[in-house]
Structure 1
């Protein structure tokens, strides 16, 4: 069996996750914002803790800032951590994401935050959509990023459906998924998320928390962010990114896909980006930080080590 049909199912699972209808907010996964990039209608809120070199942590599509809790506990005695909560995800107010595109304006807001907070080339770590945002930031505002870690993201995600995919061929399906979010009922999407997240997280506790965050996400914000994600193609741009980058991707035998196929998919996707080191984390699904916390913590230490 080839990797593309399997990854295509995973991609669809991520899409369904992103379109979860709003339900009861799960307080354990709420960021406690102490700084925002704009006093009116922010694109995201930021929680700042710790002292030391600056590190920005960006969660993924329909995810909570609390996905980084273990990383914060690991680093806050040695680093100053800026944990992003995208507006409209995980029960956070929709803020500036109430309408229109989500990802590109959030990247611009992140550039504004880095400048206004006078951060000097911070390390940036992003998961999934957050990884795509990190790539976009490094490409569009290279002075903003000292080093970058991308956790399971691709320069153009629809290649998991077809290597011949283009933005134009993907747009109709992406628009349909976006529009589906507006018509969904909370009950239907809550039930769907229970099934969907099981394909993305192995850890029982991680699965519970990630599912709650997805269900609590605003359906319109999630749908539009998904559309942005599926129609953003950086394949022709990543060669110009010179920021030192580590890209982590998962593999697990339970997917039924050959390890070699996963290796080929990710290494070929990042081959034009000579500044990138691509590493596989075994025994994990999409949420590497939840499924393999010890291995992930070791990669974080290596990534942040001076001179690495």
Structure 2
């Protein structure tokens, strides 16, 4: 037994000399599928989702661009990998992926959590990406619904949230997922696909990642972003709670004010999955942004 352990340690030491540490330990949480040819575009899905949310996007752009579809352990699958901070690790792995594959100024498009990660990555590596597109992802999303919240005051909610995810059974998980998705997608025919992604996800991973979204505030970092940024926002899901288009727009703009080169567009009717609810409007604006030199 002792000999076997020593051999493993020696092998690891040999590998650490032959292969950079960043390559040995990179991409523990993410994997990628590459489709198409052309300028690279990285696509990162949101919470409790998978790369399947981008099916229409792939269909539209695969003949013009090289699409790098990111999959994450525990999202849309039951895999799990221990991590002290899932979101930071995903962000770091995406950055390392771009460097390891020598991608030249890729465009990063992220939905929700993926958009947040894109903004964070661009703030930390201002020269690495070409453009960032965030689909309803902002530097600190809880503030949009709970003005005044901070990572410190959010901790009790995070603890309760993690416990709820950990203790949910299959039936309650479906009911919860259906309820959540109904507030995020206005188009009935698009809901079941995303519901199933949530059910297929690992509840422990999702609970941790949700909690980290409440505890990770990058509003003081985004001033480091120098490249063009396009942010799509949504407000229609909040109007039954007294929100107006103007009040919601103000909340987004306050979070994006420190980004030097940002374009903000607010959908009229779409919920959180803007590309499902207003696809023509979404893709017309996305086409123009990514094509602009």
1:82 to 43, 65, 68: 68
2:207 alignment counterpart: 223
- Looking at structure 1, the residues matched to 76 and 208 of structure 2 have their Cα atoms a distance apart, in angstroms, of 15
1:206 alignment counterpart: 190
Q: Which has the larger radius of gyration?
A: 2
- Looking at structure 1, the residues matched to 146 and 186 of structure 2 have their Cα atoms a distance apart, in angstroms, of 26
2:249 to 222, 240, 263: 263
TM-score, with normalisation over the residues of structure 2?
0.87
2:170 to 186, 190, 199: 186
Kindly indicate whether residue 274 of structure 2 is the aligned counterpart of residue 288 of structure 1.
yes
- Map Cα deviations across residues 187-234 of structure 1 (whole Å, 9 max, x no partner): 211112112211110112211111111111100110111111111111
Q: Provide structure 2 residue ranges, at least 5 long, that are not aligned to the other structure.
A: 1-22
1:232 alignment counterpart: 216
Compared with structure 1, are the counterparts of its residues 285 and 219 closer, same or farther at alpha carbon in structure 2 (3 Å cutoff)?
Answer: same
- Looking at structure 2, the residues matched to 129 and 51 of structure 1 have their Cα atoms a distance apart, in angstroms, of 26
SS in 1 for 2:77: coil
1:139 alignment counterpart: 123
Alignment of 1:90-169 (within 5 A): 90-91=76-77, 93-94=79-80, 97-169=81-153
- Map Cα deviations across residues 70-122 of structure 1 (whole Å, 9 max, x no partner): 1111111010000111111112533xx34432100011111111111110110
SS in 2 for 1:160: helix
Deviating 4+ runs (over 6 angstroms)? 37-41
SS in 1 for 2:28: coil
SS in 1 for 2:42: strand
1:273 to 259, 262, 268: 259
- Looking at structure 2, the residues matched to 259 and 214 of structure 1 have their Cα atoms a distance apart, in angstroms, of 29
- Looking at structure 1, the residues matched to 78 and 63 of structure 2 have their Cα atoms a distance apart, in angstroms, of 27
2:32 alignment counterpart: 46
Compared with structure 1, are the counterparts of its residues 40 and 155 closer, same or farther at alpha carbon in structure 2 (3 Å cutoff)?
Answer: closer
SS in 1 for 2:108: strand
1:245 to 223, 229, 232: 229
- Looking at structure 2, the residues matched to 261 and 245 of structure 1 have their Cα atoms a distance apart, in angstroms, of 22
- Looking at structure 1, the residues matched to 258 and 26 of structure 2 have their Cα atoms a distance apart, in angstroms, of 39
Structure with greater contact order relative to length (CA < 8 Å, sep ≥ 6)? 1
Q: Contact 1:86–1:92 (CA<8 Å) still a contact in 2?
A: no
- Looking at structure 2, the residues matched to 253 and 126 of structure 1 have their Cα atoms a distance apart, in angstroms, of 20
SS in 2 for 1:142: coil
1:15 alignment counterpart: none
1:29 alignment counterpart: none
Compared with structure 1, are the counterparts of its residues 306 and 260 closer, same or farther at alpha carbon in structure 2 (3 Å cutoff)?
Answer: closer
Q: Contact 2:38–2:65 (CA<8 Å) still a contact in 1?
A: yes
- Looking at structure 2, the residues matched to 40 and 121 of structure 1 have their Cα atoms a distance apart, in angstroms, of 20
Q: Contact 1:50–1:80 (CA<8 Å) still a contact in 2?
A: yes
Q: Provide structure 1 residue ranges, at least 5 long, that are not aligned to the other structure.
A: 1-36
Compared with structure 1, are the counterparts of its residues 166 and 98 closer, same or farther at alpha carbon in structure 2 (3 Å cutoff)?
Answer: same
Kindly indicate whether residue 158 of structure 2 is the aligned counterpart of residue 174 of structure 1.
yes
1:195 alignment counterpart: 179
- Looking at structure 2, the residues matched to 262 and 232 of structure 1 have their Cα atoms a distance apart, in angstroms, of 21
